[in-house]
Amino acid sequence: MIAITGAAFVFAVLALAIGAVRFWRDTNSPAALDAPSFLAAFSDVFTLRKLGGGGDGCNNEDETFSQSRRYFHHALFYGFLFCFASTCTAAIYEHVFGWVSPYPFFSVPVLLGTLGGIAMLIGIAGLVQIKLTADSAPASKLLLDIDYSFLVLLFVAAATGLLLLAMRSTAAMGALLAVHLGVIASLFLMLPYCKFVHGIYRAAALLRYAAERPRRAKNGAAATGVAT
């Protein structure tokens, strides 16, 4: 069980890491990075500030602006992180402390998994609704189909995880666990080939942007001096 899902996870991490390294190299990103650059990039990543549209939000259905896309991304992003933290915490409970599952509802793994799963369902439902009502003309049908497949697979992963938590003390746990782990393994194998990769490249681009700020400020000051 651990070997199959673990192998799929390692494959996904390696594939994503290779893509990130190639992106960094092919875009002539700076080799030297300092702490302020990392802090600025992490702040942009975890607040999704660039999805704010400069403060007004995005155009979804018409010319009006809305922050809904950003909020649903927040729910999906942090829900995914909560679920990942739940899995890591459960692994520590079992393999370090010897506390065998199932765990009570008010334990850290169950609380994190429940909150994360609910947040993911809300975020995915919102993003799918935005895609269904938005103008499809500027988008590629192939990419839209891949996006929908990824979102559906994420939704099923969150839903089966919540169902597994709710029925973890019943006779159905074995079958539900097999289904959930099968969905998770499929999700890991799909990650390097779907829209999930845009999060990796976006983070790398934000890090590059943060690292180049001193150079842009210097060039701006030099240009101001020449104009003066």
Encode pLDDT of 195-226 as tens digits.
888 889 989 888 888 888 766 555 555 555 55
Give strand ranges (E) for 55-192: 58-59, 65-66
- Residue 44 pLDDT greater than 80, yes or no: yes
d(CA 58, CA 62): 10
* pTM (two decimals): 0.81
For the chain, percent of residues with pLDDT exceeding 70 = 84
Average pLDDT, the chain: 84
**In 3D, which of 52, 27, 61, 23 has the Cα closest to residue 197?**
23
Beta carbons within 10 angstroms of residue 14's beta carbon: 11
Sorted by sequence, the CB contacts under 8 Å of residue 158 that are 6+ apart come out as: 79, 83, 116, 117, 120, 121, 124
For the chain, the structural domain boundaries read 2-212
pLDDT digit string, tens, across residues 80-133: 999 999 989 998 998 899 988 788 888 999 999 999 999 999 999 999 998 888
Question: What's the pLDDT score for residue 111?
Answer: 95
The distance of Cα 61 from the centroid of its chain, to the nearest Å, equals 24
> Is the pLDDT score of 79 beyond 60?
yes
